[in-house]
């Protein structure tokens, strides 16, 4: 982590590009929390990288005065992994939505988690595809899927069968998924609780390894759930041991509550640390100079 010589302010972090999310979008709260985290930790913006995929969250890097990469749908984690491996000194934020992270990009999540790549993955979960006008996503409850299929009834062959199927579909559980994939840091925040979200993000960035932070970030245009989540949201129990994975699973599966806070955090070697160790300890079957040369090419 590299700090600036002069105190960083919010003015330094705002780019010339103005956010264009819908009024009231939860992503504004996430952007504010990320900026406050960078300021609170006094991270040098020239050593911060923002990587995103497609969707409303994909616009995120353009609004921050740091390095940014806007990739293709569902591929933010592979891109971010390459950025971090090429330059381990960077603090890398990965920004995604529930569609980008848990639908088309879901296959990348377990591998980033098990490798324990030092990334902070912030998933802005609104349980809807907002950018493409309100289709259900992987975290949408069954009633949203039913409404969507009713809307298109008669336009496509076989839609009646989909209506029946919609009654049986369950949303994915992002926290339980991340725990199953052995992510070393798993947390949930809420854009409607900015102070608590800021504290979670600070801890996630300081964590040496893969951090998954699901942020409930309602879409005020297509699926406004602010009041719903305010009723369900509550802090994790004060006596919760965040090193107890089984306890974290139990809390993640309590669907009548939306716990906020750090479900799980353990320390284990990051992927970059293990790669560095391999390079430093050559063997007869390993060519460390070739690997070091390759990495140096991408650090320039």
The string of DSSP codes covering 121-136 is: EEEEE-SSBTTTTSB-
**Closest residue by Cα to residue 211 from 175, 257, 236:** 175
Reported pTM: 0.86
Q: What is the third-level CATH fold of 10-134+173-268?
A: Rossmann fold (3.40.50)
Percent of the chain topping pLDDT 70: 86
- At a CB cut-off of 8 Å and minimum separation 6, what does 166 contact? 142, 145, 146, 149
Confidence tier at 218 by pLDDT (50, 70, 90)? very high
Dihedral through CA 275, CA 280, CA 284, CA 285, nearest 10?
Answer: 10
DSSP result, 182-227: T-SEEEEEETT-HHHHHHHHHHHHHSSS-EEEEEE--BTTTB--HH
- Please give the average per-residue pLDDT across 232-256, as a whole number: 96
- Please give the average per-residue pLDDT across 186-212, as a whole number: 97
Q: What is the mean pLDDT of the chain?
A: 87
What is the pLDDT at residue 157?
A: 47
Please say whether the beta carbons of 200 and 175 come within 8 A: no
- Give dist(CA 232, CA 255) in Å, integer: 9
Give residue-wise pLDDT tens across range 115-159. Answer: 999 999 999 999 988 887 878 888 988 766 555 544 444 444 444
Confidence tier at 14 by pLDDT (50, 70, 90)? very high
- Would you state the structure tokens that stand for residue 256, as one six-digit string? 């009548």
What is the pLDDT at residue 156?
A: 46
What is the pLDDT at residue 161?
A: 45
Q: Where in the chain are all domains bearing CATH 3.40.50.970?
A: 10-134+173-268
**Closest residue by Cα to residue 142 from 243, 245, 255:** 255
What is the pLDDT at residue 288?
A: 62
């Amino acid at each position: 982590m590299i700090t600036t010589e002069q105190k960083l302010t919010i003015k330094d972090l705002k780019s010339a590009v103005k956010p264009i999310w819908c009024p009231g979008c939860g992503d504004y709260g996430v952007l504010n929390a990320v900026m406050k985290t960078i300021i609170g930790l006094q991270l040098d913006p020239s050593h911060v990288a923002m990587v995103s995929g497609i969707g409303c969250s994909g616009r995120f890097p353009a609004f921050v005065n740091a390095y940014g990469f806007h990739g293709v749908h569902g591929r933010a984690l592979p891109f971010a992994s390459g950025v971090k491996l090429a330059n381990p000194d960077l603090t890398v934020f990965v920004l995604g939505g529930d569609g980008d992270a848990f639908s088309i990009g879901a296959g990348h999540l377990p591998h980033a988690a098990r490798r324990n790549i030092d990334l902070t993955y912030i998933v802005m979960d609104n349980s809807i595809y907002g950018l493409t006008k309100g289709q259900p996503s992987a975290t949408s409850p069954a009633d949203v899927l039913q409404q969507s299929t009713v809307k298109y009834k008669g336009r496509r062959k076989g839609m009646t069968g989909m209506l029946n199927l919609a009654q049986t579909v369950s949303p994915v559980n992002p926290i339980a998924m991340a725990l199953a994939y052995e992510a070393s840091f798993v947390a949930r925040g809420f854009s409607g609780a900015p102070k608590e979200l800021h504290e979670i993000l600070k801890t996630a960035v300081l964590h040496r390894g893969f951090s998954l932070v699901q942020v409930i970030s309602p879409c005020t245009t297509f699926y406004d759930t602010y009041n719903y989540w305010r009723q369900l949201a509550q802090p994790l129990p004060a006596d919760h041991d965040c090193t107890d994975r089984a306890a974290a699973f139990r809390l993640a599966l309590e669907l009548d509550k939306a716990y906020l806070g750090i479900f799980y955090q353990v320390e284990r070697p990051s992927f970059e640390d293990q790669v560095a160790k391999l390079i430093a300890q050559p063997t007869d079957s390993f060519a460390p100079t070739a690997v070091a040369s390759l990495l140096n090419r991408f650090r320039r």
